[in-house]
Structure 1
Amino acid sequence: MTDIRKQLLAAFDVEHREHLQAIRKALDSADRGAPFEMADIFRRAHSLKGAARAVDLPAVEEIAHQLETLFSHILEGSQALDRNIAASVRASLDAIEDLVTEASHSSDSAPSRVVTRDPARGGEQEGKTPRSSETPATGRAIATEKAGQTSDTAGTYLRVAAEQIEELSSSMHQLLSELQTDEAMAEALRQIELDARGLRRSWDVLHSQMILTMAGASRPSGSGVERPRNLSSRLRDFDQDLGRLFRKLSALSRSHKLSTWTTDQAARQVRESIERVSLVSAETVFGTFGHMVREIARETGRDVHVRISGLDIQADRRVLQALKDPVMHLLRNAVSHGAEDAAERIGKGKSERAEVILELASHGGRLAVSVRDDGRGPDLARIEQVAIERGLLQPRRAGDPAPLMDQLLSLVFSPGFSTADSVDRLSGRGMGLSVVAEAVRKLQGSVLLRPRFPWGTEAILSVPFTAARQPLLLVEAEGRIFGLPTYGVERLFRLNVQSLESVQGRPTVRIDVRGQDVIVPVIAFAALAGSSNAPLPIEAGYAKAVLIRHGSRYCALAVNAFHDVRTMLVNDVQAVGLGDTVSGTVLLEDEMPALVLSPELLIEHWIRNESRLAAGGLGLAGWTSAATSEPGATVLVVDDSITTRTLEKSILEAQGYRVLLSVDGIDALNALRSGDAMVDLVVADVEMPRMDGFGLLQAIKTDPRLSAIPVILMTSRADPADVRRGLDLGASAYITKQKFDQRELLATIGQLL
Structure 2
Amino acid sequence: MDNLRDELLAVFDAEYRDHLRAIRAIVAAGCPGAQGLAEIFRRVHSLKGAARAVELPVVEGVAHALENRLSSLLSARALPDAADLAAITDTLDEIDLLMTATPPDAPAAPDEAATQVENPAYVQVPVARLDALAAAVHDLMAVADRHERLWAQVMDLLGDARAVMHAPERMRADPVAEFARMTRRLMGVGRERELMAGQIDRALLRLGEEVHAVTLVPAESVFGSLAAMARRIAREHGGPEAGVEVHMTGMDVQTERRVMQALRDPVIHLVRNAIVHGHETRAERLAAGKSEDLNITIAVTMTGVRLQVAVSDDGRGPDLRAIAARAAGQGLVHAEAPLDARQLLARVFEPGFSTRGKADSLAGRGVGLSVVAEAARALHGSVRMEQRQPAGTTVILTVPVSQRQRTVLLVENAGQSLGLPGRVIRHLLRVRRDEIRMLGGMPFAVVPHPPVGAGAASEQREEERVPLVPLRAFVGDENAPLPVRDGAVSVVVMEVDGVRCGFAVERMLDVRTLLVSDATAVGLDSELVPGIAWPREDQPVFVLSPDRLFARWRERGNGGGAHFSDVDSAAPVVPVRHAPLVMVVDDSITTRTLQKTILQSHGYDVCLAVDGEEALAMLQQSSRHVDVVVTDVEMPRMDGLALLAAMQGDAHLAHIPVVLMTSRNDGEDIRRGMEGGARAYLTKQRFDQGELIDTIRGLL
Give the TM-score, by structure 2 length: 0.38
